Structure 1
C-alpha cells in the first residue's frame, strides 16, 4: 500500500471501533484493529450474559467499516522508537500512527480468598464462566455481589429478577455517583426484587471463602457464589512499553488525547487520562473519545493543529432488573442532579442506551465522520482544579 498512512488501533471496543471507522474519511489511510477476540463485546450487557438473557456480542461486520482490517491477536509491547507493535502470535505490525484503546478490567484487591473463591465479570470470558457456574447451581443458592457501582447494582438486580437469592455488598455507599434521591429510589427497586443491600460503614469485604463472605464489621454472609464487581484496573501495556501513565496505568495524554511521550500515539476510552483527569467511564464517552482521537490524527495528517477533546456526558443509566432503571441527569461539572427518571420509563431509557451504543458505531461505519456529541464547557475548570491539587501531573501533561 505505497502512499498509505498506516494506523494501528489497539483494542476493538467502543473507543477503538469508533476511531477506526472515523479514520475512513480518508481514502489514503489503512487501518488495522488488533483485538484478542473475534466478536465485538457489548460490555454494558455483561450482566445480561451472566443472567442468561443476552450473549453480549455483535459480529464485527456489523460495526466495522468494510475497509478496516481486523487482526485477532494480542499486543505484547509497543515499540514507539521503531513505530511498531509486537503481537503474541503473528509477529509485528508497523504503523505511522497508533490509537491506544485497550479498555479496562477489574482490579484484584488484596482480599484473602478473592482470587480463589470469587468470580470476576469484567471480561466476556469471565462472564461466560460465571454464567455457567450460576446455571449449574441449585435453586435458591445464595449469591453475593460485591461492589455497588453500576455493574454490581445491575448484576444483582438482573439475577434477583430471574429468581436468584441475592445480597449486594456495597463496601460503602450504594450507587455512590447517584443523587441521594435516585439512590433511595434504586434501593427501593432492589428491595422489591428481593435483593438484600448491605451498605454503610463496615461493609467492605475482608475475606472470601468457598461458602461465605466476611465483612469488616465481622459479619459473615453465607455465599455459594461470590460475584466480584468492585474495583477498576487497566491493562499494563503502556507501562510495559515505557510510556508514561497515571498511578493506575492509564496512558497520560494532553487534552487532544495525544500521548505526552509521542505525538504519533493517541488514546481513547477507559485506558487514557487526559491531563491526569480521566473522563467518567461509559460506552458513550468511550465512543466520543474514540471519534476525537481519530479527529486528532486526521488533523495531523492534514497539517492542522489538533483541537482539545470535550465531551459532555449528561446522564448515567443504571438498570434495575428487566422492568426498571434509573436515568440520572448530570451537570456539566459531572455531578448528579436532583432530576432523574426511574421505574419503568427509566428501564426503557436504559434499554435504549444498548441500542444507541452499538448504533453509533454502525452509523459511523456507514458514514465516517457522522458522529456528533455535545462539548463540555466546564472541562477546562475540571482540569485546572486537578492541576491545583496535583501540580506534578499538570507539569507532566503540559
Structure 2
C-alpha cells in the first residue's frame, strides 16, 4: 500500500460505515469527522495515558480554526482500563461537560481503548456516535470493527458490554511502526485466525514471507490488514448481534471467536497479564487439536495452526494452569448456552462450525497437547 491510495472497506450493516486503511491518515481525521458527523462540535477523546503526545497532536488538529472542542479523557493502558470504574469516570466527565447526543466520542488507542471508549459511547444518553482510530494491529483488524464494546468483570472478560457500531474507523498503518514488536506479533494472531476461518490467502501470505508479514512499512502487512478487515466486515454484516449462522451450518459472527473461549480463560487466569493475541494463538491450537481428536479436522490442517503461528513468533504452548480452573471460566463464555459448552471448531479450512458439549476427555487431551514438549521449560521457567 506504500504510495497507493487508501482502501475503504464498507461494513454493510443496518447502519453502514467505512473502515479506511492507509498511510498518513491521522491528519485526515478532522475532515472525516466533519463529513461523517457534520453536526458534531464537541468530541471526547479517549486515549491511554502513554499515548498522550499522539493525543496532543490529534487534539490540536481537531481544534484548528475552532472547529471542534475537545474533551480529553486519558485512561490507563491495556486491559486494566476496562472496568466499570474507569467507564464511570468517563461518564462523570461527560456529564460535567454537558455532553449531549449531538456530541461524539473519539477513541485513539489499542483494543482495550476501543472496547472501553465504545462502551462509554454506547451507554452515555443510551448512545452517542463513536469514531475509532486504532493504533495497534489487533485493534485495526478486530476490536475497532464490528460494534462490540465492553469491560471486564470478576466473572470474566467482556461479559459486560453492548453492541454499538462506530460511525467510522480510520486505520493509519504508519502508527504500527511505533508498536513494540511483541505487540505487533500478538496482533497477528487475529489476522491468522481470519485466514483459518474465512480467507486462506492470509495463511499463504504469512507462510510465503513471515518477515514481510510483520514489516509495518511493507505492502504485505497492509494487504493482511485489509483482508482481515474484509473478513470481519462480511461476517458482521450477516450477523451483527451474534444470533446464529445460516442453514449451511456456518456459525455466523461466532466464527470470529475461533480460539477465544480458551484464550479468555487464560487471560483471566493470568489476571490479564497475558497479551490477548498470545492467548488467542494458544486457543487456536487447542481447538484445532480438539477438532482433530473429534474426527472433524484433517491432521495436516490442525498442524498448520502450529506452524503458521510459530512462524510469526506467536506461542503455541501454554504453562500448567490447571485445566479445571480454565474449564470453569470457559463454561460462562458468551457462546455458552445454559449448561452447554459451545466451541468454534473447523471441519476444514475456512469451514467453521459449532461443537457443542465436546467430551471432557477430548478437551483435557487437547489442552494437554498445548503444554510444553517433553524437556521444554514451562513459561515461568523460560530464560
* Higher relative contact order (CA closer than 8 Å, sequence separation 6+): 1
Task: Flag whether TM exceeds 0.5 (same fold).
Answer: no
Say which one has the larger Rg.
Answer: 1
Q: TM-score range by the shorter chain?
A: under 0.3
| TM-score calculated relative to the size of structure 1 | 0.25
Query: Which protein is richer in strand relative to its size?
Result: 1
| TM-score calculated relative to the size of structure 2 | 0.26
